[in-house]
Amino acid sequence: MTNHSAYIAGLGFYVPDRVLTNRELEKMVETSDEWIRTRTGISERRIAEKGVGTSELASRAALAALKQAGVSPNDVDLIIAATTTPDMPLPSCACFIQQKIGAKNAAAFDLAAACAGFVYALVTAEQFIRAGVYKNILVIGADVISPYIDWTERSTCILFGDGAGAALLKPASGKSGILSSVLGSDGQYADLLTIPCGGSRRPATHGSVAENGHTLKMSGSEVFKLAVRGMSEAVIEALSRAKVKKSDVACFIPHQANQRIIDAVADRLELPAEKIFVNLQKYGNTSAASCAIALCEAVEQGKIKKGDKVVLATFGSGLVWGALVMEW
């Protein structure tokens, strides 16, 4: 047992070029740019071209993270792909990413924790590093969720976008890296946010397609309330485990689902707006990629500097949630 914590040595993200604006959605469903912006904070999102799978976006993000870390694909020990929209049911998205980036010496698996996937995957990777099993772990949060959206259903189609974010984790020396984490789930709420068909219980049939069973169904207001509670409690617990005061946090990166959820969490935690990083206006909710892309942009924009305490908090279908505290 080496008991080294893990730190992020490189970050990268990728979003498709195609921008879908609120104005375009006005032509597709009965909604308005004003409604979407005031109820969610979202102005536009990115949509992958037809036939482009999650591994394509994920590979681009992964190569950017490897480049920033100065690590060759050959030296990656493990790829964890957090996604609920793999290219195919079999094989894993992680194996397609491995194929695309040429990380031929890595083990690879997918991790399904919906929007909480990136934080779940970081925490999973950290365990392998603490145990001394691996030294270079590629953690990717990526989803191409647009094919699962019902583009005639106004309460869900406005929310989501496609994207990928990646981090290369290495053993930390000294105090930096992941200081604490909290993961949680409550399966009693499993039915609140689902894609009901296409799995083993209800595989694809003419009937499942006819009844529109392959698109995302969500009880929005219940999810909203549980998201606020789940994320707030996870952050409080993670800060307490790390013995870090709220006032010492330099940058808080919440799951980018809805500005009102973020505001409610910030209220509960009494966090000032200037410490909260938000980019959902540009990308919407990119599911497992959300926190990863936000972390990447926060660093690029100089919001996070060496030695800063950073908190990631996320929440998703399951219901699942997670928070972690890092020293950058």
The residues carrying an active-site annotation are: 115, 255, 285
**How far is Cα 169 from Cα 76, in angstroms, rounded to an integer?**
10
**How far is Cα 86 from Cα 168, in angstroms, rounded to an integer?**
20
* Residue 223 sits in the site that holds ligand ACO (CB under 6 A): yes
Q: Which of 17, 174, 221, 306 binds ligand ACO (CB under 6 A)?
A: 221
Identify each DSSP E strand in the chain by its residue range.
6-14, 19-21, 44-46, 78-82, 107-111, 137-143, 163-171, 177-185, 193-194, 217-218, 249-254, 309-316, 320-327
Nearer to ligand ACO, 115 or 234 (CB): 115
* Residue 194 sits in the site that holds ligand ACO (CB under 6 A): no
Nearest to 110 by CA among 90, 127, 130, 129: 90
How many angstroms from the chain centroid is the CA of residue 247? Answer: 25
**How far is Cα 317 from Cα 320, in angstroms, rounded to an integer?**
6
Which residues between 229 and 288 bind ligand ACO (CB under 6 A)? 257-258, 261, 285, 287
Nearer to ligand ACO, 39 or 246 (CB): 39
Nearer to ligand ACO, 71 or 123 (CB): 123
Q: Which of 18, 19, 33, 35 binds ligand ACO (CB under 6 A)?
A: 35
Amino acid at 61: A
Q: Which of 89, 220, 272, 307 binds ligand ACO (CB under 6 A)?
A: 220
* Residue 158 sits in the site that holds ligand ACO (CB under 6 A): yes
- Chain residues binding ligand ACO by CB under 6 A are 31, 35-36, 39-40, 114-115, 154-155, 158, 193, 218, 220-221, 223-224, 227, 257-258, 261, 285, 287, 316-317
